[in-house]
């Protein structure tokens, strides 16, 4: 699905239609193949993912994923000890004191 640009996804949504005039996924796949024979063929799963994303988010732009910070057990322990010593320490100061890995919000790592 990575080869589908935003404009192609919008075109797929237009082919799907809405209300009484909505087409089935099989019809959408067939019409898209007729319109764009040079592109790799779509399957019904791709159509349903595009439609679900549009219904959920209201757009079909690529959404950047949130990067998870990797924090080891020692850093978590140091963070807990620092919070136990002084519970009103600002999060930024804790992050600077403990590690750059614990930035942007060290309280997230207490889970």
Q: What is the pTM of this model?
A: 0.56
Q: In percent, how much of the chain has pLDDT > 90?
A: 32
* Angle at the Cα of 33 from the Cα atoms of 31 and 36, rounded to 5 degrees: 110
H helix runs in 1-111, sequence order: 6-16, 25-35, 44-57, 73-85, 91-98
Residue spans per domain, the chain: 6-57, 73-110
Q: What is the pLDDT of residues 55-78, one digit of tens each?
A: 998 999 887 777 766 677 887 888
Provide the pLDDT for residue 13. Answer: 92
Task: Name the token pair of 98.
Answer: 């403990």
- Cβ-proximal residues to 82 (8 Å cutoff; 6+ apart), any chain: 89, 94, 97, 98
């Amino acid at each position: 699905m990575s080869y589908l640009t935003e404009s192609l996804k919008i075109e797929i949504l237009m082919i799907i239609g809405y209300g009484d005039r909505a087409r089935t996924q099989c019809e959408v796949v067939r019409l898209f193949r007729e319109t764009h024979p040079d592109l790799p063929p779509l399957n019904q799963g791709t159509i349903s993912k595009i439609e679900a994303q549009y219904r959920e988010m209201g757009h079909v732009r690529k959404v950047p994923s949130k990067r998870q910070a990797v924090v080891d057990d020692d850093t978590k322990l140091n963070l807990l000890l620092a919070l136990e010593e002084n519970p009103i320490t600002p999060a930024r100061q804790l992050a600077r004191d403990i590690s750059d890995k614990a930035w942007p919000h060290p309280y997230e790592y207490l889970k």
